[in-house]
Amino acid sequence: MNSVRNLTALTVLGTVLGSLAGCGSPGGSPAAERTPVVADAPSRTASAPPLVSAPPTVTKQPPTMTPGPDALTPVFTHGARTAGKVVALTFDADMTADEGPRAAAGEHFDNPGLIALLRRLKVPTTVFMTGRWADEYPTQARSIGADPLFEIANHSYSHYAFKSPCYGLPTVAKGAMRGDVERAFAAFRKAGVRNVVPYFRFPGGCYDDASLRALAPEKVTAVQWDVVSGDAFATDANAVAQQVLNGVKPGSVVVMHCTRSAAPVTDEAVRRVVPELRKRGYRFVKVSDLMRTRPS
* Cis previous bond, 165, omega within 30: yes
Q: Counting Cβ atoms within 10 Å, is residue 242 exposed (0-12), middle (13-18) or buried (19+)?
A: middle
Give the model's pLDDT for residue 183: 97
Give the model's pLDDT for residue 103: 84
Helix axes 138-146, 112-121, angle to 10 degrees: 10
Q: Is the pLDDT of residue 44 over 90?
A: no
Q: Is the pLDDT of residue 31 over 60?
A: no
Instruction: Give the C-alpha separation, 227 to 285, whole Å.
Output: 15
Q: For 118-158, what is each residue's pLDDT tens digit?
A: 999 999 999 999 999 999 999 999 999 999 999 999 999 99
